Amino acid sequence: QSALTQPPSASGSPGQSVTISCTGTSSDVGAYNYVSWYQQHPGKAPKLIIYEVTKRPSGVSDRFSGSKSGNTASLTVSGLQAEDEADYYCSSYTGSNNLVIFGGGTKLTVL
């Protein structure tokens, strides 16, 4: 099972919005609303910021939002802040062997 495809990098200035894509197939992203997103700062564990495509855990800023169209899921970070600079990973369930797969990660830089 191949990993999900994410752009290696993204950037934006403070206050702007940035969208990160996550492309899978009709067997994973396109088949289930089980896409989740994780934020990882250097030397730290990943942190859940979006689950089930659009839902935010309690305590996560509403500047983070998720969506999906076909086989591609997206994470939008609005009102960029310096603290948003981090790596972002998407993940999806696939019905094949009850497998969970991740994207390769996107490094978000706040200019």
Greatest distance between any 2 Cα atoms in the chain: 42
As a whole number of angstroms, the distance between CA 60 and CA 92 comes to: 20
The stretch near another protein (CB under 8 A) out of 14-22, 45-53, 61-69, 72-80 is: 45-53
Would you state the structure tokens that stand for residue 48, as one six-digit string? 């859940």
Backbone phi and psi for residue 83, each to the nearest 5 degrees, phi listed first: -70, -10
The stretch near another protein (CB under 8 A) out of 12-20, 61-69, 75-83, 95-103 is: 95-103
Quick one: which of 14, 15, 57, 79 contacts another protein (CB under 8 A)?
Answer: 57
**Are 17 and 77 spatial neighbours (Cβ–Cβ below 8 Å)?**
yes
Residue at token pair 């859940």: 48
Residue at token pair 């702007």: 16
Quick one: which of 34, 63, 76, 85 contacts another protein (CB under 8 A)?
Answer: 34
Number of residues that bind another protein (CB under 8 A): 27
Residues near another protein (CB under 8 A) are: 1, 3, 32, 34, 36, 38, 44-48, 51-52, 57, 87, 89, 91-93, 97-102, 104-105
